[in-house]
Structure 1
Amino acid sequence: MQRDAIIYVRISRDRIGAGLGVERQRIDCENLAARLGWNVVAVYDDNDMSAYSGKPRPGYKRMLEDLRAGSATGVLAWHTDRLHRSPTELEEYIQIVERHGVDTQTVRTGQLDLSTPAGRMNARNLGNFARYEVEHMSERQQAKKLQKAAAGEWFGGRRPFGFEPDGVTVRTTEAAELDARGDDLLSGLSVHAVVRDWNARGVTTATGGKWTPNSVRRVFLRPRNAGLMEHRGEIVGPAKWPAIIEETKWRAIVALLNDPSRRTTPGPQRRWMGSGLYECGICVEAEEEKTTVVVATAGLSKGGQRKTVPSYRCAAGRNHVARSPIHLDRYVSMLAVEWLSRPGAVEAFERKGDDSAARARVLEREALRIRDEEAAEMFAAGQMTKAQLIAANEKTAQRRSELDQADAAAARVTALAPFRKGDPQAVWDGLDLDRRRAVISQIMRVIILPGKLGRPEGWTPEYGKEWGYFDPKYIRVEWRVRA
């Protein structure tokens, strides 16, 4: 019987490449159609698409739509497991082919007779066997991964940033970027600033793409950076590749990035140094939850003409304060450079970690990991109740959190490192806006107080040319450490 037929081909992972896996299936199905005398009206494929995952398969969905519409009364596939590995999908397919009189033929297993109870039972058995094979293969793969993880070996896959394609050899240029930008994050630089820096300098991801805040965050959270092996979200021991970020520093970065109270800058690049950093004096006095200022445009009339100028204003939207960002940023910069020029100022912020204490924390983490494994074994052997296991895990998790915080405090560096040597003014002039903001946030708190309109006391035309009506009397600076 001649039929209008649809060829459906699928492969879970195209190891051959260039779609050759599904192409070979298509050729075999076309040869089968010729032997049966069927007319092929459509070919649908799902390349690199699993039938077991439960994710929608576009080609399979189009085939079902055509069958429902009566566009074809025959289906050709290379094997039954190319069509289904899910009992739910198979039952839907059975309903459609029964209703529309569709004949299913396969290259490897012959006809899939769904018109009789025996044929449907056979199809279901084939589907169950295929599902068993997938689940069994998954078990073998997981066991192999666990074995590799225990040995500290790489699982394989896409090249990780900082390493060569073998996943073990360090790519020195990328490793240097991770190490240096890790210091920047610990010194107060935002993730968005790292994104802008890398994209501006042409530092690409491992696949050659642009960086985003999420991709930067993910790459710094990887245990492999510290030479640690991870399996299913848990660190299981040392890896066979070298660390590109010292473990204590990496743990400090992780603690910093996972801190829910951490204040981060929004995506768009800032134009003004104090936006989101300086504070509104009225909100500070009222102990409001949000006290920072942002830059907004304000109308200004001069010489009969009206123009808009930028102005620092309360981020809460209240008409509390207004100040020129040009003059205020310049004033704060002058104060910062003057403070950094004082003898001993930078050293006041230096924090030196205790290497022996850091090593002790590493050893304690390993002891906690072993304790968790022992508790799991005791639970499996019936020597510990579920409640006792949960309590033990919560106790070790709490201790790990305390160790993370200790690492963060010990490894945190300051944004003032460039000022240890060289002229403070020259160093300041060479910093970009993000790094200047990091310096300001560490050494001072800038609070804008409500001021009077008009010229400040002692104003002169010469002062006005340089500072306008800016009055430093209405700016309060609180130094975080006295030099």
Structure 2
Amino acid sequence: MTTTKAHIYARISRDRTDGLNVAEQIVACENFIKNRGWELGETYSDNSISAMSGAVRPGFEKMLKDAEDSSDTVTFVVYWKQSRLERDPDDLDRFLLAGCEGYATDGTQANVKTASSELMTKMMSLYGRFEQRNKADFQKQANLRIAKAGTYRGSIRPFGQRKDGSWVEEEAEAVIEAAEKIIAGEWSFFRTSEVWNLRGLKTPQTGKQGGKQWTSGTVRNYFTRPRLYGYQDYKGTLYELKDWKPILTKEQFDAIQVKIDSKRTGFRTSNVTRHDVRLLTALIQCADCGRGMNAAQRGGPGSTRSYRCPSTKHVTIIAEPLEEAISEFSLHLLAQHAEVRNQQESTTRRLATVQGEKLSLTKEHEEWLDEAIEAGLKPSIIANKESKFEEEISKLDEEILTLQQDKTVSIFEGFKLEGWNASPIELRRDLLQTLYSGITISRVGQGKRFSPDVIDYKFTPLGERLRDEYLKHEMDALHPWENSDAI
């Protein structure tokens, strides 16, 4: 008498809401096979493969291929529950068409040996999806009740606050400081990420989630959360968080959204009227201590302007020659931009591609989110997926911002100093931040005249490309014979 050989299939996903893990499923299947007196065959498994991601299941695919290649008329497969085997009707059809016959440890079967067995197999599949949808409906109602009750829904506490809305003082104060400086135009999101990272402030951590350094993208996304002023968003509707201590006012939050929108579109909501005295404010740092230097002016209009370090007896420098030196050097770099840009893929084409990728990724995530809520996944699982989605979006946002900056740089191609000085100050400040990640100023020395040697530039990736091209042209001008054809 030939002994029946039965294989095992087990699956668990990151979005597990109930049931056994893979190892426990395998043990249950082994006991089922042993009690039937069958021979144990191969064990196939897929660990942490989400039912909602649509990702390929290597173990499942190998099992189907082995079944199709097998000389056996029927391939017997044991699994814990039918829901572990299939994620959609196609999975079940492929399983049956490959010549497989399934046995769940609860006694139910999946086969098409008779019309009745085929009907029962399909009914079990439909019932499993009915149960899933039914749980999802209850979960959606529960989530809505939680949102209406004003309870914070996140699995990880937000930066600056605890889950009950009380402040984590050091973080909350850092958020307030950053918000004020972002609104004033003194800090960018990149600068904010630098400051927070230098202070050792990381994203909140729960288990393996969070605890990472900030980027300009994650800072920007953080400042789009309405919980900052005491509300949370659920499916497009804002609900007030009860007993929640807001970090920002609604006016501050709205002002930052205007900044974010202006970065995306290049549109400014009002004309800039600030004087050039603030051209380099917070963009230059003191060589003695690294602190940002502020504008200063003694006396009335027409008096000498300067930039000085907030620390006593540190660097102070006259504004006009410093601004002129940095502006002229920047224009020299910008003069190389057309040539550098011509060596790269079209900025406009790449920008459209990345924006398309972001749109597609956002649409896929929204579809996943709807399915996840319908499936009744735990809020912690959804939050984990949203965290990864935000990281991916942040990377795309950073590239989009770089490409938009590249287009902004092209505005100044061919400009002279007069045209530069006549341009809006915000545009010039954005341009400087596009070229330089930092500018350090050293002391001029008492009684000595200003020299550009006191300026130490730290370049962004785009600034480095322009600098290299500029230095190459300077060397060509000094040694033209090195690049001339032999006579």
TM-score range, shorter chain: 0.5 to 0.7
- Equivalent residue for 1:205, pick from 203, 206, 219: 203
Matched, 1:221 2:242: no
Tell me if the contact between 1:226 and 1:250 (Cα under 8 Å) persists in the aligned partners.
Answer: yes
Amino acid corresponding to residue 32 of structure 2 in structure 1: L
Shift of 1:463: 8.6
2:279 — aligned with what?
none
Amino acid corresponding to residue 86 of structure 2 in structure 1: H
1:158-212 per-position Cα deviation (integer Å, ceiling 9, x unaligned): 2322222x35333222222222111122122211112222223221111211222
Tell me the TM-score normalised to structure 2 length: 0.52
The separation in 1 between residues aligned to 2:431 and 2:102, in whole angstroms, is 76
Amino acid corresponding to residue 109 of structure 2 in structure 1: Q
1:48-81 per-position Cα deviation (integer Å, ceiling 9, x unaligned): x443554443443343333334399221110111
Q: 1:29 to 1:272 in 2, by over 3 A?
A: same
- Equivalent residue for 1:82, pick from 78, 81, 84: 84
Shift of 1:238: 4.6
The separation in 1 between residues aligned to 2:256 and 2:147, in whole angstroms, is 23
Q: Which has the larger radius of gyration?
A: 1
1:234 — aligned with what?
237
The separation in 2 between residues aligned to 1:215 and 1:445, in whole angstroms, is 22
Greater relative contact order structure (CA < 8 Å, 6+ sep): 2
Tell me if the contact between 1:192 and 1:213 (Cα under 8 Å) persists in the aligned partners.
Answer: yes
2:172 — aligned with what?
175
Aligned positions of 1:37-436 closer than 5 A: 37-47=38-48, 49-51=49-51, 54-70=54-70, 73-97=75-99, 102-164=100-162, 166-188=163-185, 189-206=187-204, 207-259=210-262, 260-262=264-266, 312-314=333-335, 316-317=337-338
2:12 — aligned with what?
10
Tell me if the contact between 2:147 and 2:234 (Cα under 8 Å) persists in the aligned partners.
Answer: yes
The separation in 2 between residues aligned to 1:223 and 1:204, in whole angstroms, is 20
Aligned residues: 291
Tell me if the contact between 2:161 and 2:167 (Cα under 8 Å) persists in the aligned partners.
Answer: yes
Q: 1:71 to 1:158 in 2, by over 3 A?
A: farther
Q: 1:263 to 1:6 in 2, by over 3 A?
A: farther
Q: 1:293 to 1:75 in 2, by over 3 A?
A: farther
Shift of 1:9: 3.0
The secondary structure found in structure 2 opposite 1:258 is helix
Tell me if the contact between 1:5 and 1:74 (Cα under 8 Å) persists in the aligned partners.
Answer: yes
Shift of 1:2: 2.3
Q: 1:131 to 1:118 in 2, by over 3 A?
A: same
Shift of 1:83: 1.0
Tell me if the contact between 1:225 and 1:245 (Cα under 8 Å) persists in the aligned partners.
Answer: yes
The secondary structure found in structure 1 opposite 2:213 is coil
The secondary structure found in structure 1 opposite 2:203 is coil
Structure 1, unpaired ranges of 5+? 265-269, 274-291, 297-310, 320-439, 449-461, 469-483
Matched, 1:28 2:28: yes
The separation in 1 between residues aligned to 2:214 and 2:431, in whole angstroms, is 34
The separation in 1 between residues aligned to 2:79 and 2:52, in whole angstroms, is 17
Moved more, 214-223 or 147-156: 147-156
Q: 1:71 to 1:242 in 2, by over 3 A?
A: farther
Q: Percent identity?
A: 23
Shift of 1:271: 9.4
Q: 1:11 to 1:464 in 2, by over 3 A?
A: closer
The separation in 2 between residues aligned to 1:446 and 1:82, in whole angstroms, is 53
Q: 1:182 to 1:40 in 2, by over 3 A?
A: farther
The separation in 1 between residues aligned to 2:452 and 2:25, in whole angstroms, is 77
Tell me if the contact between 1:104 and 1:112 (Cα under 8 Å) persists in the aligned partners.
Answer: yes
Structure 2, unpaired ranges of 5+? 205-209, 269-282, 287-326, 341-423, 433-446, 454-487
1:266-323 per-position Cα deviation (integer Å, ceiling 9, x unaligned): xxxx9999xxxxxxxxxxxxxxxxxx98859xxxxxxxxxxxxxx544264379xxxx
Q: 1:30 to 1:271 in 2, by over 3 A?
A: farther
Tell me if the contact between 1:84 and 1:90 (Cα under 8 Å) persists in the aligned partners.
Answer: yes
Tell me if the contact between 1:228 and 1:235 (Cα under 8 Å) persists in the aligned partners.
Answer: yes
Tell me if the contact between 2:8 and 2:26 (Cα under 8 Å) persists in the aligned partners.
Answer: no
1:314-344 per-position Cα deviation (integer Å, ceiling 9, x unaligned): 264379xxxxxxxxxxxxxxxxxxxxxxxxx
Tell me if the contact between 2:9 and 2:60 (Cα under 8 Å) persists in the aligned partners.
Answer: no
1:102-123 per-position Cα deviation (integer Å, ceiling 9, x unaligned): 3311101333223333222211
State the Cα RMSD in Å. Answer: 3.9
Amino acid corresponding to residue 86 of structure 1 in structure 2: D
Q: 1:117 to 1:315 in 2, by over 3 A?
A: farther
The separation in 1 between residues aligned to 2:17 and 2:108, in whole angstroms, is 26
Q: 1:94 to 1:146 in 2, by over 3 A?
A: same
Shift of 1:464: 9.0
Amino acid corresponding to residue 67 of structure 2 in structure 1: L
Shift of 1:441: 4.0
Q: 1:272 to 1:224 in 2, by over 3 A?
A: closer
The separation in 2 between residues aligned to 1:216 and 1:314, in whole angstroms, is 32
Tell me if the contact between 1:11 and 1:82 (Cα under 8 Å) persists in the aligned partners.
Answer: no
The separation in 1 between residues aligned to 2:66 and 2:330, in whole angstroms, is 58
The separation in 2 between residues aligned to 1:65 and 1:447, in whole angstroms, is 57
Q: 1:2 to 1:167 in 2, by over 3 A?
A: farther
The separation in 2 between residues aligned to 1:52 and 1:312, in whole angstroms, is 49
The separation in 2 between residues aligned to 1:261 and 1:168, in whole angstroms, is 33
